[in-house]
Amino acid sequence: MISTAPSLPPAAEMRRAYLASDAGYDGVFYLGVRTTGIFCRPSCRAKKPRPENVEFFADAREATFAGYRPCKRCRPLEAPGTPPPWIARLIADIERDPSRRIREAELRARGLDPARVRRWFKQHCGMSFAAYCRGRRMNTALQAIRRGESVIDLAIGHGFESESGFRAAFERSFGHTPADGSGASAVDPVRVAWLDSPLGPLLAAARDAGIVLLEFTERRMLEAQFDALRRHFQVPLVPGDHPLLRQLKTELAEYFAGARRAFTLPLVYPGSDFQRAVWNALLQIPYGATRSYDDLARAVGRPGACRAVGTANGRNRIAILIPCHRVVNKNGQLGGYGGGLWRKQRLLDLEKGIEPVS
């Protein structure tokens, strides 16, 4: 497999991107600052260097071999979107015991600002930290009820003072009260889970009918996507596991290793007739190929409707599996991508056999 370094955007474009701290260019290029000897991501929030003191690199390796050391503020050697260690530890604690309640006093005892924790979960998970913990707790309870465990045992085991308090919390989450060993099978919430990838963490969601969400976690529209899922399915979103999420993890690992060209997972993507037509057309673009927005507009019978096609393309909720990354501008330039242009380039390179993602 031939490896070639990705080409850099025009210098003026890179200058504009780093001066604007544009995260969409993270991974597309890095900038070395001659006066300090450090290199940064374009999104770095440190004081901007003068343009004449900056040189650009296609990857972190080039910057390192040129003698620059990584910035301690933007940490350019880490995969963009990687949860910071303090969040990773918090999530690990929740997963070890979903029934445990982590209150603000405990967060402060860990040296964490509760407001900062809330902001991070709201931005990256579309819900507050309390809602995330509650959803994880309730989803665990739902699975236990399906196995036939008693409501009173679950109430005590999940830290509720009474059975009635547990029933009320369950009803708020799932729309009806639980029943001992029955009634829970009708509940099919949207299960949300984190998946690691070589391009940073992905937030995935599934119902029994199929995968309903796959997005890179720092995407700005993530909260809007969650709202759309709640509106479409009229069910709660809860952190939890699902067989389709486990299958998704396996198939994505095979894809990034270059061993899978097509996914076999069922997909559920409600939307307007036009949006679904666009998303269906995306599914017809072969692995390793690209289409222009003009091509896509003609494929859905709307020649000239490039802007509308681009909007529908941007509202795709299932990245990679519905391959919106395979749509580029007519002149061959990348165009836009909600997960960041650097990810779009890496995905296209992977599929063309240019540069394996590792």
40, 44, 125, 306: which one is catalytic?
40
CA distance 32 to 47: 13
* DSSP string across 262-327: S----B-----HHHHHHHHHHHTSPTT--EEHHHHHHHTT-TT-HHHHHHHHHT-SBTTTS-GGGE
Q: Alpha-carbon distance 36 to 34, whole Å?
A: 6
Active-site choice (44, 71, 133, 324): 324
Q: Is 328 helix (H, G, I), strand (E, B) or coil?
A: strand
Distance (Å, whole) CA 240 – CA 225 = 18
8 A C-beta contact, residue 252 and residue 320: yes
Instruction: Indicate if 71 belongs to the active site.
Output: no
Q: Report the amino acid identity of residue 127.
A: M
Q: For residue 141, what are its two tokens? A: 């309870």
Contact 316, 211 (CB under 8 A): no
Let me know if 125 is a catalytic residue. no
CB contact at 8 A, 87 and 125: no
Number of neighbouring beta carbons within 10 Å of residue 72? 8
- Residues taking part in catalysis: 40, 324
